[in-house]
Amino acid sequence: MTSPTIIETPALLQAEADRERAAGHRIALVPTMGALHEGHLSLVTAARARADRVWVSIFVNPTQFNDPDDFEHYPVDLERDLALCAAHGVDLVFTPTAAALYPEGAETWVDVERLTLPLCGATRPGHFRGVTTVVAKLFLAARPHVAVFGQKDFQQLAVIRRMAQDLGFGIEIVGAPTLREADGVAMSSRNMRLGPEARRQAVSLVRALDAAEHVIANGETGRDAVLSVVREMLGKADQARIDYAELRDPESLEPASAELRRPTLLALAVHFAPDPDGRGSEVRLIDNRVLEPWHPGA
């Protein structure tokens, strides 16, 4: 098992990218905030299938946190992350400091406008501006041919695709399927912050997605009826508080019409309170599924 090269500054990463490109090697970048799990490692596998060199960035980006407490408690274990990267054949890990990516006096931001307004953008002001700015910086530093992101963050993936196209990065943006725990809960670095009871109740998200898919498979095409089923399922988790449960067009993210007649994104975001005995902390989880309504003439 070979340890990956570790680079900490954008300038050194750019120089390495120039060498790899001059040698004819295709570079894939997997941007992460660390606390790696099997979901992240599935992105590494997807990247390996598309490139000669797989690079992972590990950086907890302060500018995408609208809640300082969330940033303060975000799990960090760089030693473990590097060991996982080595075990999965990652060639290089980029571990910049905040000062390296946001030098003193920096005042430039990258902002995708329309796609960032609904869903997470509506309840997390400034979040996507932080995401797009840091991803643009990572793209400029790593100069990858392809970048891989998880489909669990569906809106983020759409926003990054839009940014990459609008700014002409010339990077293939790949969305990899969501990896799930044995009970169906989407893998997330935040899961480890849930109390035992909240973790048990977190399965309500995937059950809500399943319930929506079930009623649609049985002919339901009414938007409000589908959302009623979703909210009823989420309401069975007494530690859950819905941030949003919405049906949207999967490309434009515009609200779905009253009658569902085409593939439709069901996007969920739910806050889970700490357990009654005080274990765990408040955690916000997201999940999604693209539903395929049937209608006559389809």
> Do the beta carbons of residue 198 and residue 276 sit within 8 Å?
no
User: 179 - beta bridge partners?
Assistant: none
**Dist CA 129 CA 119 (whole Å):** 14
In one-letter notation, the amino acid at residue 182 is: A
> Do the beta carbons of residue 295 and residue 221 sit within 8 Å?
yes
Beta-strand relationship, 264-272 and 283-291: antiparallel
Residue 40 among the catalytic residues: yes
Catalytic residue among 25, 40, 145, 295: 40
**Distance from chain centroid for Cα 191:** 14
Strands of the sheet containing 264-272, edge to edge, are 240-248, 264-272, 283-291
> Do the beta carbons of residue 191 and residue 155 sit within 8 Å?
no
Helix (H) or strand (E) holding 58: strand 53-58
**Dist CA 220 CA 294 (whole Å):** 8
In one-letter notation, the amino acid at residue 145 is: H
Q: What are phi and psi of 121, to 5 degrees?
A: -65, -30
Question: Active-site residue numbers?
Answer: 40
